[in-house]
Structure 1
Amino acid sequence: MPSAFFLQRFKITQERVAQRVGTDALLLGAWSFSHPLPKKARLLDVGTGTGIVALMLAQRFPESSVEAWEMEAEALLDAEENFRTSPFASRLKLRAQNYMEALASEEAPFDLIISNPPYYTEGILPEDHRLSLARHVAEGLSPTTLLRTAASLLTTQGALVLITPSTSLDQLRREAVEAGWRLAELVTVFSKPHQEVRVLTLWCRLSSSSDYIPTKTSTLILQDADGTPSTAYRTWVKDFLL
Structure 2
Amino acid sequence: MSQPFVLQRFKISQERAAQRVGTDALLLGAWSFEHPLPQGARLLDVGTGTGIVALMLAQRFPESSVEAWEVEPSALLDAEENFRTSPFASRLKLRSQDYMEALTSEEAPFDLIISNPPYYTEGILPEDHRLSLARHVAEGLSPTILLRTATSLLTPGGALALITPSTSLDQLRREAVEAGWRLSELVTVFSKPNQPVRVLTLWRRLFPSSGYIPTKTSTLTLQDASGLPSASYRKWVEDFLL
Same fold, judged at TM 0.5 (above):
yes
Point out where structure 2 has 5 or more consecutive residues left out of the alignment. Answer: none
In the alignment, what sits opposite 1:37?
Answer: 37
**Alpha carbon RMSD of aligned pairs, Å?**
0.8
Task: In structure 2, give the amino acid aligned to 1:174.
Answer: R
Contact preservation (8 Å) 1:159, 1:205: yes
What residue in structure 1 maps to residue 195 of structure 2? 195
Which residue does the alignment assign to 1:177? Answer: 177
Distance 2:116 2:95 in 1: 17
Sequence identity percentage: 86
Deviation at 1:211, TM superposition (A): 2.1
Report the more deviating stretch, 122-131 or 46-55. 122-131
Distance 2:210 2:182 in 1: 13
1:51 maps to amino acid: G
Q: Work out whether 1:121 is the aligned partner of 2:121.
A: yes
1:18 matches 2:48 = no
Map of 1:149 onto structure 2: 149
Hey, what does 2:207 align to over in structure 1?
A: 207
Report which stretch shifted further, 112-121 or 154-163.
112-121
Task: Measure, in 2, the Cα distance between the counterparts of 1:126 and 1:39.
Answer: 40
CA distance in 2, matches of 1:50, 1:183: 28
- In the TM superposition, 1:79-94 aligns within 5 A as 79-94=79-94
- 1:40 aligned counterpart, secondary structure: coil
4+ residue runs over 3 A deviation = none
TM-score, scaled to structure 1: 0.99
Counterparts of 1:211 and 1:21, CA distance in 2? 40
Q: Residue 236 in 1 paired to residue 236 in 2? A: yes
Report the number of matched residues: 242
CA deviation after TM superposition for structure 1 residue 3, in Å: 2.2
Please state how far the C-alpha of 1:210 moved relative to its aligned partner.
5.3
Flag structure 1 segments of 5+ consecutive residues without an equivalent: none
TM-score, length-scaled by structure 2: 0.99
Distance in 1, Cα, partners of 2:126 & 2:3: 22
Q: Contact 1:158–1:204 at 8 Å: present in 2 too?
A: yes
> Does the 8 Å CA contact 1:121/1:137 hold for their aligned counterparts?
no
Partner AA of 1:109 in structure 2: P
Question: 5 Å matches for 1:101-116?
Answer: 101-116=101-116
| Counterpart for residue 58 of structure 1 | 58
CA separation of 1:98 and 1:56: change in aligned 2, threshold 3 A: same
Deviation at 1:122, TM superposition (A): 2.3
CA distance in 1, matches of 2:185, 2:119: 21
The equivalent residue for 1:4 is 4
Deviation at 1:71, TM superposition (A): 0.0
